[in-house]
Amino acid sequence: MFLVSFEGLDGSGKSTQAGLLAAWFRQQGLVVEMLREPGGTETSEHIRTLLLDPSQRIDPFAELLLFSAARAQLVSEKVRPLLEAGTVVICDRFFDSTTAYQGFGRELAEPAWLNAFHRQVTGGLVPHRTYLIDIEPDLARARRQARSEEDRMEASGRAFYGRVAEGYRWLAESEPDRVFRLDGAQSIESLAEAIRADAERLLAGTARSGSGNRRTP
């Protein structure tokens, strides 16, 4: 069917919106599978545990490769077979997170290099739509601190998250046809309404084109 991803800073509310959209798609009679990154397979979940463990000291480039390894396993084992079976797949994070967090946040690589690398990792699979919940880093941090102890990624500091937010905004400006940017300061209901309205257009376009799993040329 098609792949939808949700992106944003930790604390942006993207996971909540992903769940609401999945419920709405099911109301439309569609088969939906929700997945998270890193995770979604046994191998990827092991990698997730390692990446988020605050006791670990992971080299930034090793971090990039670990996130990408988890993604490659998820695409091969879950995402592509589900799409080929006609399922709507919703991913809580996909390769845009690596561009924002490791590319911009860790200042590891140029976007062009990362873009080509992501296509290798996913075999050319690109989300049909990416919903970016854009939120100021200070508000995101306040939400994270209110809910629980920070994991290894969430403890990366204010300057890091400022660069991540910059990376996400760069992505929205670079790929406006794919990345749908929303103001994360809005209410949950307002965000959900805007996402549903866009999802209706996405469904209509998919029905007209008969498109399935999308690859880049």
CA 129, CA 6: separation in Å to the nearest integer? Answer: 9
Residue 163 lies in a domain: yes
Range of the domain at 121: 3-209
State pLDDT tens for residues 23-71: 999 999 999 999 999 999 999 999 999 999 989 999 999 999 999 999 9
The pTM score is 0.91
- Could you tell me if residue 204 is inside a domain? yes
Q: Is the pLDDT of residue 216 over 50?
A: no
Arithmetic mean of pLDDT over the chain: 92
Q: Which CATH number do you get for residue 12?
A: 3.40.50.300
Q: What is the pLDDT of residue 88?
A: 97
d(CA 40, CA 131): 20
Inside any domain, residue 99:
yes
Element (H, E) at 201: helix 188-209
Q: What is the pLDDT of residue 215?
A: 47
pLDDT in the model for residue 118 = 98
Per-residue pLDDT, averaged over 137-156, amounts to 76
Structural domains of the chain, count:
1
| pLDDT confidence of residue 149 | 64
Identify the pLDDT of residue 213.
47
